[in-house]
């Protein structure tokens, strides 16, 4: 008989309780004991929800206060010395690694942060120093969580990130030590397994769905043979997700795992591998047939067909999610304002639990109901905008190409705008302070009129324009106070989108995003930003950037329809943003920033598929600005991705200025940019906005000097590494004041 499980569960809370309580701890409003007790209550709630839904095997240690990669580093005692030397309490040391620390005369930066494979989740990059001594940290949370689950009678499996994935994603001071560290961690894992009082242990190795060479496979097999030889009576599940394991399938099934977890949503080739090479009769297959990354109702007919094909090869099956449900919102229960015709077509984490239970033994009645829902969904998706579809089909090559060459544009812009060397600017947003949130809440409840709301927004714009002028920032922004989120805002104003009330998904730490849902053809009926940008420009003689989000980021940070090729969705959004760009230009805005923070996010796991994706993704972006005038300066912004291997594609975006996250990466991209003669003007973020710490003038001066040493002076911009929306106003002002002072100091020496 089939059983059901999941890879992992969301942890921020149905109403973002974990975010709120953790941030209260940061603000010293509650004690560490109160933080721990609230987290325990949330975990109990998650397990109870899973048990009531009929899940047979529930994950333990999928919970984290900030990030599982950080938790894993703590488990291995892989803590850089600079954090240990701070002599902080354990919980504060943990958060210092996550977000930096600046208090009581102590000052330290956070670990680097990167995107978790092809998702919008960010993980903290562990640092492995040369003199690291891996060992089991008995104070790591996994041991207390196992006891906690056992006391509640939870039928559990412990979730651990595998040592191979951990090392592959870590920043190793001496990369030649990889193999040495690998086998040191095998010994640590052997000890961890002995200490864990559970039957099943899930070891996540998502790195196996990436391109592996023979050496990779050989090392993995050798390491896991050692581990599995000493597993005793523990059952070890090797869990993969985000794709297929084509490079290592034969070797995996030959190893002494008790279960193997495969993704059949993003990795359909996994079924082909099973049919070609078989599946061992002594192992359980954890079949990821319920998609853990989208919010659409499962097609039971398709899933049953997949399960029947699987069961021809093995009768030992757990029905599972394709990956952790971390990547979808908690529940549809709170979506009281969502029209039923849309709501019935969706499944968030709670609803996916029921889908797994239903698939264990699906009654005909449920199958019939499911297929009727899908039929209604198809009808809605089938209602489209013929005008937009015809425009997409009629696009030609010149629609994606800016006529004026880069050098000619920059020369003209320099002459017209007289922008100084090392110009200072910000990425766009300023802190969403309580007065803004209150203003927005009053509008939604009808307590104030739309006119009163707009006057309140204008007042905030007035304040932030004056602040930027006072500290002498060169290129200003309007603060984005009218926007809840850089994607949700545009989703609210474009045809083809619907939005949820409480569909929060964790992006990193305590940061949540609420992705809109693309359900139909996308069209812009009215201008979306012109009123606010032109108002800001009317308040200053300095240049104010028009701020937009690019088509790939809007698409990648939304839950998208499944009935239309993804590139056509991108082009539809691209046309909508182009219309806004041209309206901004017509209104007299000279600099327009089109953010593509998520360009790399949907980059295929396999390198062989990169060229096709980058071809249409870059074209979708170029579509937005190909018709602007020569003197209009186009900026873009990208964050928290590895850029070196797609630098040529970034240059092909044909912007005039690009800003890139670099503060957490120690400017490791600098040499690569120089060696490859990257021509576009660039701002490598000089300080980390995801940390509350305020960088000093001397620290920033040193970083800007490093930029000047490596890059052509004319090409350097000075800016934070991302938008400032999530920061407090006090720290934001202090940081920007120091940033401008530092840029001026370096400018004067030149």
At residue 719, φ and ψ (nearest 5 deg) are -160, 160
Whether pLDDT at 484 is above 90: no
Among 225, 190, 203, 224, smallest CA distance to 157 is for 203
36 burial level (CB within 10 Å; 0-12, 13-18, 19+): middle
Whether pLDDT at 346 is above 90: yes
For position 727, what pLDDT does the model report?
A: 87
Reported pTM? 0.93
Given a contact cutoff of 8 angstroms between Cβ atoms, the answer to whether 729 and 738 are in contact is no
Q: 3-class SS at 259?
A: strand
Whether pLDDT at 382 is above 90: no
What percent of the chain clears pLDDT 70, i.e. is strictly above it?
A: 98
Whether pLDDT at 713 is above 80: yes
* Cα(719)–Cα(702) distance, integer angstroms: 14
What pLDDT digit, counting tens, does each position of 522-565 carry? 999 999 999 999 999 999 999 999 999 999 999 999 999 988 99
For position 607, what pLDDT does the model report?
A: 93
Q: What is the largest CA-CA distance in the chain?
A: 78
What pLDDT digit, counting tens, does each position of 644-688 carry? 788 888 889 999 999 987 665 566 677 778 887 888 999 988 888
Question: Parallel, antiparallel, or unpaired for β 505-508 and 511-513?
Answer: antiparallel
For position 384, what pLDDT does the model report?
A: 77
Whether pLDDT at 641 is above 60: no
In eight-state DSSP terms, residue 403 is S
For position 642, what pLDDT does the model report?
A: 67
**Residues with Cβ within 8 Å of residue 688, at least 6 apart in sequence:** 100, 109, 110, 663, 664, 721
Token couple for 218: 């050989």
* Cα(581)–Cα(427) distance, integer angstroms: 17
Domains of the chain: 3-382 (3.20.20.210)
What pLDDT digit, counting tens, does each position of 722-732 carry? 889 988 999 99
For position 379, what pLDDT does the model report?
A: 85
* Cα(259)–Cα(237) distance, integer angstroms: 4
| Cα–Cα distances in angstroms (integers) from residue 116 to residues 202, 223, 281, 613, 641, in the given order | 19, 24, 33, 18, 9
Token couple for 300: 């039971």
Among 743, 742, 9, 693, smallest CA distance to 350 is for 9
What pLDDT digit, counting tens, does each position of 120-156 carry? 999 999 999 999 999 999 999 999 999 999 999 999 9
DSSP line for 640-698: SS--GGGHHHHHTT--SEEEE--GGGTTTTHHHHHHTT--SEEEE-SS-TTS-PPPPHH
Measured in whole angstroms, the distance separating CA 711 from the mean position of its chain's CA atoms is 29
Q: Binning pLDDT at 50, 70 and 90, where does residue 105 land? A: confident
For position 590, what pLDDT does the model report?
A: 97
Mean pLDDT of all residues in 232-243: 97
Given a contact cutoff of 8 angstroms between Cβ atoms, the answer to whether 606 and 211 are in contact is yes
Q: Mean pLDDT over all residues of the chain?
A: 94
- Count Cβ atoms below 10 Å from residue 595 Cβ, excluding itself: 25
In eight-state DSSP terms, residue 57 is B
At residue 158, φ and ψ (nearest 5 deg) are -80, 135
Question: Number of C-alpha atoms within 13 angstroms, CB side, residue 376?
Answer: 14
What is the Rg, in whole angstroms, of the alpha carbon atoms belonging to the chain?
A: 26
* Cα(690)–Cα(694) distance, integer angstroms: 11
Token couple for 217: 């496979």
Given a contact cutoff of 8 angstroms between Cβ atoms, the answer to whether 516 and 497 are in contact is yes
**Residues with Cβ within 8 Å of residue 302, at least 6 apart in sequence:** none
* Cα(544)–Cα(466) distance, integer angstroms: 12
Q: Please work out, in degrees rounded to the nearest 5, the angle formed at the alpha carbon of residue 436 by the alpha carbons of 514 and 444.
A: 65
Among 132, 64, 52, smallest CA distance to 94 is for 64
DSSP line for 185-212: HHHHHHHHHHH---SEEEEE-GGGGS--
Mean pLDDT of all residues in 207-212: 98
What pLDDT digit, counting tens, does each position of 1-55 carry? 789 999 999 999 999 999 999 999 999 999 999 999 999 999 999 999 999 999 9
* Cα(620)–Cα(400) distance, integer angstroms: 8
Mean pLDDT of all residues in 400-416: 93
- Count Cβ atoms below 10 Å from residue 4 Cβ, excluding itself: 25
Catalytic residue set: 690
- Range with the poorest average pLDDT among 112-126, 230-244, 381-395, 429-443: 381-395
For position 684, what pLDDT does the model report?
A: 86
Q: Please work out, in degrees rounded to the nearest 5, the angle formed at the alpha carbon of residue 337 by the alpha carbons of 331 and 341.
A: 85
For position 677, what pLDDT does the model report?
A: 82
Q: Binning pLDDT at 50, 70 and 90, where does residue 638 land? A: confident
For position 380, what pLDDT does the model report?
A: 81
Q: Which residues of 555-564 are buried (b: 16+ CB within 10 A; e: fewer)?
A: bbbbbbbeeb
Given a contact cutoff of 8 angstroms between Cβ atoms, the answer to whether 231 and 189 are in contact is no
**Residues with Cβ within 8 Å of residue 713, at least 6 apart in sequence:** 421, 422, 750
What percent of the chain clears pLDDT 90, i.e. is strictly above it?
A: 85
Q: 3-class SS at 265?
A: coil
In eight-state DSSP terms, residue 6 is -
């Amino acid at each position: 008989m089939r059983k059901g499980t999941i890879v992992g569960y969301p942890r921020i809370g149905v109403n973002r309780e974990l975010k709120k309580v953790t941030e209260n701890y940061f603000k010293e409003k509650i004690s560490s004991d109160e933080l721990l007790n609230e987290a325990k209550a949330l975990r109990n709630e998650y397990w109870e929800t899973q048990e009531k839904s009929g899940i047979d095997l529930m994950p333990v240690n999928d919970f984290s206060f900030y990030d599982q990669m950080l938790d894993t580093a703590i488990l291995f005692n892989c803590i850089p010395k600079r954090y240990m030397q701070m002599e902080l309490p354990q919980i504060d040391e943990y958060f210092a690694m996550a977000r930096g620390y600046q208090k009581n005369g102590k000052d330290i930066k956070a670990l680097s942060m990167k995107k978790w494979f092809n998702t919008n989740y960010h993980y903290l990059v562990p640092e492995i120093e040369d003199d690291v001594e891996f060992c089991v940290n008995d104070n790591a949370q996994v041991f207390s969580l196992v006891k906690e689950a056992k006391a509640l009678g939870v039928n559990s499996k412990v979730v651990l990130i595998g040592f191979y994935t951990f090392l592959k994603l870590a920043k190793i001071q001496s990369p030649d030590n990889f193999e040495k560290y690998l086998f040191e961690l095998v010994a640590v894992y052997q000890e961890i397994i002995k200490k864990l009082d559970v039957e099943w242990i899930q070891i996540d190795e998502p790195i196996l769905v990436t391109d592996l060479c023979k050496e990779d496979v050989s090392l993995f097999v050798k390491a896991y043979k050692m581990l599995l030889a000493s597993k005793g009576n523990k059952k070890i599940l090797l869990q993969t997700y985000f794709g297929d394991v084509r490079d290592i399938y034969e070797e995996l099934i030959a190893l002494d795992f008790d279960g193997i977890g495969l993704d059949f949503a993003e990795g359909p080739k996994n079924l082909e591998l099973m049919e070609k090479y078989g599946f061992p009769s002594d192992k359980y297959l954890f079949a990821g047939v319920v998609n853990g990354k989208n919010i659409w109702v499962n097609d039971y007919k398709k899933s049953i067909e997949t399960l029947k094909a699987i069961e021809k090869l093995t009768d030992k099956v757990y029905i599972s999610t394709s990956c952790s449900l971390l990547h979808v919102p908690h529940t549809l229960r709170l979506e009281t304002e969502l029209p039923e015709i849309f709501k019935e077509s969706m499944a968030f984490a709670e609803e996916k639990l029921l889908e797994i239970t239903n698939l264990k033994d699906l009654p005909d009645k449920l199958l019939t109901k499911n297929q009727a829902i899908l039929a209604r969904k198809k009808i809605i998706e089938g209602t489209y905008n013929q005008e937009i579809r015809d425009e997409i089909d009629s696009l030609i090559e010149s629609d994606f190409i800016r006529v004026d060459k880069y050098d000619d544009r920059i020369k003209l812009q320099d002459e017209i705008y007289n922008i100084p060397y090392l110009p200072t600017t910000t990425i766009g947003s300023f802190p969403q302070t309580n007065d803004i949130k209150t203003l927005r809440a009053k509008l939604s409840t009808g307590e104030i009129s739309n006119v009163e709301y707009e006057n309140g927004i204008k007042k905030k714009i007035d304040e932030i324009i004056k602040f930027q002028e006072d500290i002498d920032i060169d290129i200003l922004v309007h603060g984005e106070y009218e926007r809840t989120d850089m994607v949700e805002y545009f989703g609210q104003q474009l045809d083809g989108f619907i939005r949820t009330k409480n569909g929060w998904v964790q992006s990193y730490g305590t940061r949540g995003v609420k992705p809109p849902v693309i359900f139909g053809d996308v069209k812009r009926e009215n201008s979306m930003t012109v009123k606010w940008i032109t108002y800001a420009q009317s308040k200053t003689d300095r240049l104010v950037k028009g701020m937009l989000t690019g088509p790939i980021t809007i698409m990648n940070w939304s839950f998208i329809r499944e009935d239309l090729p993804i590139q056509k969705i991108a082009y539809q959004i691209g046309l909508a943003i182009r219309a806004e760009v041209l309206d901004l230009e017509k209104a007299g805005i000279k600099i327009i920033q089109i953010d593509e923070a998520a360009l790399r996010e949907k980059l295929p796991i396999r390198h062989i598929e990169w060229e096709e994706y980058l071809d249409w993704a870059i074209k979708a972006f170029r579509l937005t600005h190909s018709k602007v005038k020569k003197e209009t300066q186009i900026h873009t912004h990208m964050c928290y991705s590895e850029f070196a291997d797609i630098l040529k594609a970034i240059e092909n975006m044909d912007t005039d200025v690009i800003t890139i996250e670099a503060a957490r990466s120690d400017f490791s991209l600098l040499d690569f940019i120089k060696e490859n003669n990257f021509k576009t003007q660039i701002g490598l973020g000089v300080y980390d906005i995801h940390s509350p710490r305020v960088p000093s003038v001397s620290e920033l001066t040193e970083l800007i000097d490093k930029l000047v040493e490596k890059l052509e002076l004319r090409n350097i911009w000075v800016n934070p590494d991302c938008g400032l929306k999530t920061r407090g106003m006090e720290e934001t002002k202090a940081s920007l004041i120091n940033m401008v002072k530092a840029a001026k100091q370096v400018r004067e020496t030149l």
